[in-house]
Amino acid sequence: MQPAERIYRRTSAGQQAFLNQSADVPVEYRRVLELVGTGTHAAVIRACLGSHPYEHVLEWLTRLEQVGLLESVPQAGADDLDFSGKFNRAALAAAHNARG
């Protein structure tokens, strides 16, 4: 799965690095750690870092995972950012009509 289709969150080491704001962690990595928190979609991270090339953001995410400051999980259906993944108009209409 592509890094852009993942949900990222800080590990406990990443949380410590974020809280300590150590100069040992490059400023770009600290910015990513600030954005990620407990779970952020890669597309949201990318949008927040729009002034940086897409390839750099993906490289930072990959590197932060490699050094154990971030972890990621595949995007699940509930994380579909445009809400089009499993949209079923008939099911919504039936649920609405069942409410009375």
Q: The pTM is what?
A: 0.70
Provide the β-strand partners of residue 70: 10
The pLDDT, as a whole number, for residue 84 is 53
pLDDT in tens, the chain (100 residues): 455 678 999 999 999 999 998 888 899 999 999 999 888 898 899 999 989 998 999 999 999 999 999 999 887 655 454 455 555 677 777 777 887 6
Whether 73 and 7 have beta carbons less than 8 Å apart is answered as: yes
What is the C-alpha to C-alpha distance for residues 28 and 87, in angstroms, rounded to an integer?
37
3-state percent helix, strand, coil for the chain, nearest multiple of 5: 55, 10, 35
